[in-house]
Chain A
Amino acid sequence: MEKGTFAFEDWLKEIQEEVAKRNLSDALRTIAEKILERYGARVWFAEILGKRWSYVTGCGGEDPLPLRQIPLTPRFGLVAEKWECIPPSEGEAILAFLRELLAQTGTSSVKSEG
C-alpha cells in the first residue's frame, strides 16, 4: 500500500491491534513512528509533572519548529511538530485513541526510553 492511500480507519485499526500487545512505552513509540510515516508530523510523549513535561518516548525532531502541546490525560501529554499536516478529523480520532489508551494507565508513571 502506498503512503497516504491507506484508508484512515484501516490504518488506525491496524495500529490499535498492533499496540494492544505491547507495553505502554513501546505502544506510544509505535504510534509516533506510524504518525511520522503517514503524515510527516513528529510527535513525542511526556509525563506531565507540574511545569515539567518529562520525555517518555516518541519521534521528536532535531530542528526548531513551532510546537503544539496537547494534554491527553492529567498525567500524559503529546508534543507535536507539524501537527497541522494531519487532517483535523483524523487528528481528533488519533487523540481519542491515545486518551483511551492512556486512561488505562491512570496516574501511574511510565519508564522513559533509556
Chain B
Amino acid sequence: MLTRDVPLNVREWMQGVIKEEEINRYLVNGRDFINDEEIEELLRKHRNPEPQRVRDIIAKSLALERLEPEETATLLNVEDEELWEEIFQAAGEVKRKVYGDRIVTFAPLYCSNFCVNNCLYCGFRRDNHLQKRRRLTIEEVRREAEALVSMGHKRLIMVYGEHPLSDVDYIARTIQTVYETKVGNGEIRRVNVNAAPMDIARLRILKEVGIGTFQVFQETYHHETYRKVHPEGTLKAHYRWRLYALHRAQEAGIDDVAIGALFGLYDWKFEVMGLLYHTIDLERHFGGVGPHTISFPRLEPAINTPFVQETRYKVSDRDFKRLVAVIRLSVPYTGMIITAREPAHIRREVIPVGCTQTDASTRIGIGAYSDRYTEQDLKRQQFQIGDPRSLDEVVRELAEMGYITSFCTADYRCGRTGKYFMGIAKKGKIHHFCMPNAILTFKEYLIDYASPETRSVGERLIEQKFAELDEALKPLVREYLERIERGERDLRI
C-alpha cells in the first residue's frame, strides 16, 4: 500500500499542477520557440532542392554538425529517389560514426492507466469507458520488475498516466522499488521515465531517486492541431506547459531529457522541424545540452479510438524511413528510439538508418509481465504494438544483422551525463565507450539469459566486434570478458 492518501478531489489536484511562472521566463516577446508560420514557410521555400545543395548538407551531417532549420527543410523536400538513397546511406554512416554497431535495448513498464486527460488519439483518455483502469500496487511493481529482470533487461522506461493516483510520490516509490529488485545476477540498472509535465519542485523529487532520462513527448508541435486533439479544460491542453517540460527538468537538475512527436497527428515534415527547434532551444538554454534521445512513434490503433483510423496525416512506411533518416542527419549526436509499435519488418528496415535504441519483449498492458498473458489485451493497453517478440528473439535478429545488443548503463552510473556526455557525443567519440561496454553487457546477457541459438550467434558477433576495437583497448576488454565468464558482473569502462 502507498503511505500517503490520494487526493479525493481530482479537479482540485489539477488546479495545483501548472505553474505559469515556470513557463513565462522562456518566452520571447510572449512567443514560444515554435513559429508555425516560419516552419511552413521554410518547408515551402526549400522545395525541389538542387542535388548539390542536398549533398552539401549531407556532408555537414557527416562532420557531425547539427543542421539548421533551413537545411532540415531542404532534406525533407527531397523527391529524387537516388538522393534519398544517399540520405539513407549517410544516416547509417552518421549512426555508426557516433554510436557504432550497437543497439541499446530496454523494456517499457506501464504502471497506471488512470488519466485526467482526454486526448482524442489515446486509449487511456479519460472518457474511454472500454479501458480497464488499473494502478499497480508497489508489490505488483516489484513482480513486474522481477519478470523483466528474469528476461535479462537492465534498463526500463516506466510509464504513467497523468492522475493524482500516479502523482510524483507514486512515481518515486515505484522507481525505488524497481531499483531495489534483484533476481540472481540480475537487476535494473537504469530507469527512464515517461510521465506528464511537472513543476520544478516535483521534478527535483524524481531527480533524487536517480532517474535516467526524463521523457515528455510534445505529441504535435503544430499549435492548432495540438488544440484540436487535446480538449480544453484538461491539463494536457496547455501546449506551453508541455513544450517547456524538459526545460524545467533541466532546471531541476535532470540533465538527460528526451523529446518526441507522435507522428500521424499532423504533417510529418512539420513535426520533424518541431523536433529540431526543440533541440535547438534546449541547447541554447542549457550550455549545449539538448535531448539525450529523440522518439518518433507513429499512431497505432487503440480500443474505442476512431481518431486513429480517421486522421489524414497517417505516415506511410516510406515516409517513416525518410523522417528517421532526416532526424538522424539533423541531430547527428543524439540517441534515437524506435519502439515495438513498429512491426519487425519495419524495425529491420529502419534501424540501419540511424536508430540507437529499441525495446523488446514489450508488453504495455498494466501488469502484463507478471500476469504472463501473451495475447495483446487492448482493454488495458494505450495502443496496439506491432512487434511483441521476446528479448531473446530480438537480440538474435539484431546479432544476425551485425548489431551488438547493449545493456550498458555505464555512463549514467559513472557521472558521464549531461554536458560531459553531450561533449563526447558531439565529437563522435561516445562509441569509444559504448562499444566496449556494449560487448561486456552483451556477454553477460548471453551467459545468463540467452537461448543456445542466440548465444551461438552472439559469441561469433562478439569476436567480430572485438577484432574491430582499438588495439590499446583489447587487453582490458579481453580481461573483462574472461572475468565475466568466471562469474563477475557489471564490469565497465
Contact surface of A with B, Cβ cutoff 8 Å:
44-47, 49-56, 58, 60, 62-67, 69, 77, 79, 109, 111-114
Contacts and interface: CB of A to CB of B under 8 A. Distances in A.
A69 B414 contact: yes
Interface in B199-233: 204, 207-212
B419 A113 contact: yes
B250 A114 contact: yes
A114 B419 contact: yes
Contact of A53 (B204, B211, B413): B413
Nearest to B176: A50
Among all A-B residue pairs, the 6 with the closest Cβ atoms: A50-B210, A46-B415, A114-B287, A52-B210, A49-B210, A53-B415
Interface in B406-439: 409, 412-421, 424, 427, 429, 432-433, 436
29 contacts: A44-B415, A49-B207, A50-B179, A51-B179, A51-B189, A51-B210, A52-B210, A52-B211, A52-B212, A52-B413, A52-B417, A53-B413, A54-B253, A54-B415, A54-B417, A54-B418, A55-B420, A60-B415, A60-B420, A62-B432, A63-B432, A66-B476, A69-B414, A77-B415, A79-B414, A79-B415, A109-B207, A112-B253, A114-B255
A69 B415 CA distance: 9
B289 A114 contact: yes
B418 A112 contact: yes
Interface of B: 176, 179, 189-190, 204, 207-212, 250, 253, 255, 286-289, 409, 412-421, 424, 427, 429, 432-433, 436, 473, 476, 492-493
Nearest to B435: A64
Contacts of A114: 250, 255, 286-289, 418-419
A69 B289 CA distance: 24
A50 B209 contact: yes
A55 B418 CA distance: 7
Contacts of B289: 114
A43 B288 CA distance: 22
Nearest to B472: A63
A60 B416 contact: yes
A112 B493 contact: no
Contacts of B427: 62
Contacts of A47: 253
Nearest to A65: B493
Given A62-B427, A62-B432, A64-B433, A112 B419 contact: yes
A51 B255 contact: no
Given A65-B493, A112-B419, A51 B413 contact: yes
Given A49-B209, A109-B253, A114-B287, A66 B493 contact: yes
A95 to B, nearest CB: 16
B415 A111 contact: no
A23 to B, nearest CB: 15
Contacts of B176: 50
A62 B452 CA distance: 37
B208 A49 contact: yes
Contacts of B436: 64
B155 to A, nearest CB: 11
Contact of B493 (A45, A52, A56, A64): A64
A54 B255 contact: yes
A64 B417 CA distance: 15
B471 to A, nearest CB: 13
Indicate the member of B250, B420, B476 with the most A CB atoms within 10 Å.
B420
Contacts of A111: 253
B473 A55 contact: no
Contacts of A67: 414, 492-493
Contacts of B417: 46, 52-55
A47 B252 CA distance: 13
A49 to B, nearest CB: 4
A64 B433 CA distance: 5
Indicate the member of B255, B413, B429 with the most A CB atoms within 10 Å.
B413
B414 A53 contact: yes
Contacts of B255: 54-55, 112, 114
Contacts of A45: 415
A67 B286 CA distance: 27
Nearest to A61: B424
A53 B412 contact: yes
A2 to B, nearest CB: 29
A77 B419 CA distance: 17
Contact of B190 (A51, A56, A64): A51
A54 to B, nearest CB: 5
